[in-house]
Structure 1
Amino acid sequence: MKMGQGVEWALHSCVNMSWTPVGEAVSSARLAEFYHLPAAYLNKQLQALVRAGILASVSGPRGGFQLARRPERISVLDVVLAIEGDEHTFRCEGILKDAPGGSMDADYARTCLISQTMRHAEVTWRTELSRQSVAGIAQAIERRFPEARQDTVSRLTGIRT
Structure 2
Amino acid sequence: MSEGVEWALHSCLNLSWLPIGQAVPAAKLAEFYSLPAAYLNKQLQALARAGIVSSTSGPRGGFQLARSPERITLLDVVVAIEGAEEAFRCDQLLKRGPGADPAADYRESCLVSQAMRRADLAWRGELAGQTLADLKARVERHYPATPGNTVNRFAALRA
Shorter-chain TM range is over 0.9
- TM-score (normalizing by structure 1): 0.93
- TM-score (normalizing by structure 2): 0.94
8 Å contact from structure 1 (residues 25, 65) kept in 2: yes
Which residue of the partner structure matches residue 139 of structure 1?
137
Which residue of the partner structure matches residue 148 of structure 2?
150
8 Å contact from structure 1 (residues 77, 129) kept in 2: yes
Which residue of the partner structure matches residue 6 of structure 1?
4
- Structure 1 gaps of 5+ residues are none
8 Å contact from structure 1 (residues 55, 69) kept in 2: yes
Q: Which amino acid aligns with 2:134?
A: G
Q: Which amino acid aligns with 2:74?
A: V
Aligned-pair Cα RMSD in Å: 1.0
Mapping for residues 10-159 of structure 1, pairs under 5 Å:
10-157=8-155
- Structure 2 gaps of 5+ residues are none
Secondary structure of the structure 2 residue equivalent to 1:15: helix
Residue 98 (structure 1) shift:
2.3
Query: Can you list the C-alpha shifts for 1:8-67, whole angstroms capped at 9, x where unaligned?
Result: 000000001111101111111111111011111111110110011110001121110001
- Aligned-residue sequence identity (percent) comes to 60
CA distance in 1, matches of 2:50, 2:126: 20
4+ runs deviating over 4 angstroms: none
